[in-house]
Structure 1
């Protein structure tokens, strides 16, 4: 038994705390390219499991498995809440995207996606570029976010949805739609985070930015006049909004007591380390925009886009993310629940209806 299989085996997959009702977990290796990946299909009641491919240098395969399981479940809820006819899945590739990624590796991943016969549809995520998806598409049709399948890079739509979600959150928290003069701490300046920062700047917000990649920080300082802080301190900034746009699990028992913002609304997936952390935010009077509700613009773009570049339908549905959050917040007040609990209920209601049909 090789190392990746041993590591995954030793986590006792069926007893894994994130296993829940996952339908399929596939361990992928390719000796020629060094590909090591995990593909997790969580739920296909609404349709094929759509979810991006993430490349990250996970310290252990067990951590990669944990991420794949959490992210794939999140995609089920995201696609359901967004009203898409799609289930949820996710792929993670264990590699450093700056050092280990290659065209051949992405093509090998595409061949493995093809073997799943359309039950899993892949797309871009952290560490993966539109060009990488073009390489994947040479070996499978079960890929989105390419020029052949629609609008290409989904990150501008993710950023648009996050921006609209921040506006809706500001209205709910402060009763005022204006972002002018509001301070926003943006943690993570990748494709999505940088574009969110741009839109906030254009709306008159004051920015505090952070990223482990220093050139991105320098670019934001020059373009937006932003102040800077270390990524580990982004949540401690005196701000109206904390916008986590990097990796997940950043909202936890250690960080939540340190948050000084009134709102947490950002693009990162799986921001809450545990369900209890959402309740902790509510108890502190911090408004939390459920991550899979606010960051659904990208999946909307790859699900609904059609070749030819007309994105009117996609933009309309993405902008409506603000309306979805408003419904979540209003229902959370009525039911005295945390917003993510309400988002879960709304997603589960649609999944239950699919089960009964």
Structure 2
């Protein structure tokens, strides 16, 4: 693995740590981008990377995204992320998770972890046996905060899509609005259900054929091949799987008015945001629209550390503020001529003490 500080995605990260535990077989990377606003908070991804350099790139990009996400959500947390490098079989053991928990604990609270792709609530419970710097744990009570943050991420994206449709298409009604949903996992499925409830016309795609078929039956959606979903004629393209789908080819293939989804790091490179704007496509910056999950796990963590109750209604109220943040970005974009991603990045950089006023 080359020196991480030579990576294009290295952005003055405060800490990048390789974790290796030979006994359990754990190999992981923990990256802290900024702790200007508080402890670096962000989930742990369990994924098989064909090239270890891809794992480093993911950790660097995702941790920077978490700095921006937490800042734009008004949370007293910095940005961090961890990736656990899975083997081809996806082997995940209790010993590996315990060793990872020890590594998190050794940072003394500088990093707070939670679920991400490939990590479950049960996995976090194992990590929590070795460190208190963890969130996304099973809720203690019917109205308590906790558990899988996916539904809260979906809720925020749903609010964001409604705001984008109103801003770009001038409609406060989702009935008949065509949405192409890429990804039918926890977040994509939750989003599809909310959109279907409001009468949106859905097209779904996912590599899990059984999951997407069941979701289509439930929501009345059509199914598209995974390699065709980005080319579907629609009002909203909603990427909810892995990131970097908006590259040169992806942007060129789009046939939509809006891109708004939960996937992290949707733009493959910085130039792809202006490319969307040049095509007249309204972009909802991913770390602004998908903040529902981190809002949930942050409030859960802060309330637990303070020993005070934190109800689900507070989480919902904070998530309901996402549309106004998006509107602020879009208004500034239109006034300045900069693309929405450029505006959001400038706002976030100022908030973490690394930039001038947007």
TM-score, normalised with respect to structure 1:
0.93
Moved more, 66-75 or 208-217: 208-217
Measured after TM superposition, the shift of residue 109 of structure 1 is 1.0
Counterparts of 1:24-35 in structure 2, within 5 Å, are: 24-35=15-26
Distance, in Å, in 2 between the alignment partners of 1:265 and 1:96 is 32
Retained in 2: the 8 A contact 1:184–1:208? yes
Distance, in Å, in 1 between the alignment partners of 2:53 and 2:212 is 31
| Alignment partner of 1:255 is 2:250 | yes
What are the superposed Cα offsets for residues 34-75 of structure 1, whole Å, 9 maximum, x if unpaired?
A: 211111011111111001000111101111000100000000
Question: 5+ unaligned residues in a row in structure 1: which ranges?
Answer: 1-7
Retained in 2: the 8 A contact 1:24–1:40? yes
Retained in 2: the 8 A contact 1:252–1:272? yes
Moved more, 132-141 or 88-97: 88-97
Measured after TM superposition, the shift of residue 104 of structure 1 is 2.5
Measured after TM superposition, the shift of residue 12 of structure 1 is 2.7
| Alignment partner of 1:220 is 2:211 | no
Aligned to 1:77: 68
Distance, in Å, in 1 between the alignment partners of 2:35 and 2:289 is 22
What SS is found at the alignment partner of 1:352?
A: coil
| Alignment partner of 1:341 is 2:336 | no
Aligned to 1:265: 260
Which of 106, 111, 123 aligns to 1:120? It is 111
Aligned to 2:299: 304
Counterparts of 1:160-309 in structure 2, within 5 Å, are: 160-305=155-300, 306=303
Distance, in Å, in 2 between the alignment partners of 1:349 and 1:219 is 44
Aligned to 1:3: none
Question: 5+ unaligned residues in a row in structure 2: which ranges?
Answer: none
Moved more, 277-286 or 322-331: 322-331
Aligned to 2:352: 351
| Alignment partner of 1:66 is 2:57 | yes
CA distance 1:151–1:237, change in 2 (3 Å): same
Measured after TM superposition, the shift of residue 28 of structure 1 is 1.0
What SS is found at the alignment partner of 1:17?
A: coil
Retained in 2: the 8 A contact 1:55–1:97? no
Measured after TM superposition, the shift of residue 138 of structure 1 is 0.5
Count of residue pairs brought into register by the alignment? 346
CA distance 1:106–1:298, change in 2 (3 Å): same
What are the superposed Cα offsets for residues 141-178 of structure 1, whole Å, 9 maximum, x if unpaired?
A: 01011137942221111110000000000011111111
Distance, in Å, in 2 between the alignment partners of 1:232 and 1:329 is 30
Aligned to 1:140: 131
What SS is found at the alignment partner of 1:255?
A: helix
Retained in 2: the 8 A contact 1:159–1:267? yes
Retained in 2: the 8 A contact 1:290–1:339? yes
What SS is found at the alignment partner of 2:179?
A: strand
Counterparts of 1:145-160 in structure 2, within 5 Å, are: 145-147=136-138, 150-160=145-155
Aligned to 2:324: 323
| Alignment partner of 1:87 is 2:88 | no
Retained in 1: the 8 A contact 2:135–2:146? no
What SS is found at the alignment partner of 1:270?
A: coil
What SS is found at the alignment partner of 2:46?
A: strand
Measured after TM superposition, the shift of residue 20 of structure 1 is 1.6
Measured after TM superposition, the shift of residue 299 of structure 1 is 0.5
Moved more, 219-228 or 242-251: 219-228
Alpha carbon RMSD of aligned pairs, Å?
A: 1.7
